[in-house]
Amino acid sequence: MTTRRNNIKLYPELVNFNNVTPSPSPIKVNTPNTKTKIPTPKNPVKNIRLSTVRTRVVKPPQTTRTAAKKKARNAAKKVATKENRNAANVNNLVERMKKINLRKTTGVRKTPPTSIDQRPKKYPLTNMTNFKYNNVSKIVKFKLPLKYAEQMKKLWEKSDKERVEYAGVLQVKHTTKNLHYLKFENLKFATSYQRGEVSGSAVQFATTEFVSMHSHPSFGKAGLKFDSPPNRAKTPPLYFTTPSDGDFDFYLKTLANNNKKNQCNIVLDKHGFWVVDLLKILETGKVFNGWDVYTRIIELLEPTLLTKAGIGKKLAKSVVSTDNFLYWKCPNISTWLTLTRMVSKIIFKEYDIKMTYYYWPKTNINLRYREAELRFRIG
């Protein structure tokens, strides 16, 4: 049996082994456990750092070509998004304009017509003018601009000063095929130097445009034949005129002649003007003469018939001037407008003639000036 020096630390009993006589009885040696025991804690601590570690995948390095492709792809996406947005805005704007045009065109249409030729179109005459054109009936409908109403008033003043009737036309420039554009140009006039009518070349001049007019001068300084004593009230009475039998005969004759243009007829007097529209007769085809219409107007304006209608007495009185022309005496413009509306309804019902009276602008501060509605037919 051999011993090793390094066993002395592990076995202290062998320190004096060589000097000791071996005993006959066996020696019990306690061999200690070489592994050290680690005490286990009551509450084991979890390794937080290791539990929160995530697995990461290493990306390959990005080359210059890949970065350029990615940048181009993102730019293309932005451009496509912007183009889609612009296209959507344009489509919305087009739809809105279609709805606005449908509301402003002639007639009431919930859905746009299928045929392009049947669609009513709108062509502006001026910025301040409401203008409508119907492709089916070929009728132009618009409001008379204020500046042309003022020019018509100056024409009447010239006629009244010279004591002769003038015929005038309002020139309208347009293209005859599709009416690509329409506008007023000038107000021109002519006269035959007669007090009670327009004849000769002046009449032919009045048939050269769609809108024609002629003037009725006032009774002048000569006074009236059968007038009442001078009115001492603060507001003197006013004297008005109506279209005569000769006027209606002229309108009916030119309406039947397709070669003549004038279809929108205007009669000028001191306080305003009449607009006489006969386009309804083209549909109904009624036959009559100017004397029938004129005498019917006189009957309706007589005080006796006005009393039966419940309007009142002495609202209008017929008077004759020294040169044998008929005028109507009325206290004010408001009363005259009320009478003319009543007469116009009956005349339109019986003869299909639409008559409307408009007073001159800036003549009465208590009344609001209303733009005249004019119509004529093209084609």
Q: Band of the pLDDT at 162, cuts 50, 70, 90?
A: very high
d(CA 65, CA 82): 26
Q: How many CA atoms lie within 13 A of 313 on its CB side?
A: 0
Per the prediction, the chain carries an average pLDDT of 75
Instruction: Give me the sheet containing 373-377, strands edge to edge.
Output: 131-133, 139-143, 373-377
Arithmetic mean of pLDDT, 189-209: 90
Residue 136 has what pLDDT?
77
**Residue 217 φ then ψ, to 5°:** -65, 160
Phi-psi label, residue 143: left if phi above 0, alpha if psi -120 to 50, beta otherwise: beta
Relative to beta strand 182-191, strand 373-377 is: unpaired
Summarize pLDDT for 220-276 with one digit per residue, the tens: 665 666 555 555 556 788 899 999 999 999 999 988 887 788 889 999 999 999 999
Which has more pLDDT, 29 or 325? 325
Q: What is the CA radius of gyration of the chain?
A: 53
How many C-beta atoms lie closer than 10 Å to residue 163's C-beta?
A: 15
The pTM score is 0.63
**Residue 145 φ then ψ, to 5°:** -60, 150
Q: Band of the pLDDT at 125, cuts 50, 70, 90?
A: very low
Which has more pLDDT, 124 or 282? 282
C-beta of residue 270 within 8 angstroms of C-beta of residue 156: yes
Output the CA angle 174-265-358, nearest 5 degrees. Answer: 110
